[in-house]
Amino acid sequence: MAEIQQSADSGKGGKKRAKKMSTKIDMTPMVDLAFLLLTFFMLTTTFSKPTVMEVAMPVKPKPNDPEPPAIKASNALTLLLGEGNKIYYYDGLLSGTTKPELKLSNYGADGIRKVLLQHRSNPDLVVLIKPDDKSEYKNMVDIFDEMNITETKKYALVDITKPDQELIKSSGL
């Protein structure tokens, strides 16, 4: 608590001096209160748990397992994640005979999300996601989020091929 100490008379006589008063504040109760509050808030706080998206990874095939069925070009949508936060897409699969029309999009709601929602009418749609070596990890996370938002059930993360890289370079986009 606080207390006031008065200094005693010097005893010399003669002039009377004004009494000097000094204050002293005991900080012990305030420190106790601070630690009690700190302990209370630490024990009653709920820590936020990180949210993660579940990704089902395929099991390695055994030697005697049958070959998985091939994807039809009419059921495929290929997304190419390029450098500089660019995303390219084309309908179908890249084959040696035909060169698909490559289109540029963005990661916003009016970009790739709109494209995915347009293709949603096909129940057998498989989206092939092909990140380039120069693309950013954030872009891959963003495209997985878009798959979750648009409720696209079938998608695969695939290595980008040389013809895909050449298609990006030759497109001029």
pLDDT at 38: 94
Q: What is the CATH number of domain 73-171?
A: 3.30.420
Confidence tier at 24 by pLDDT (50, 70, 90): confident
The pTM of the full predicted model, rounded to 2 decimals, is: 0.64
pLDDT at 5: 59
pLDDT at 12: 59
DSSP E strand boundaries for 28-136? 76-81, 87-91, 103-105, 126-131
Domain spans of the chain, in order of start:
73-171
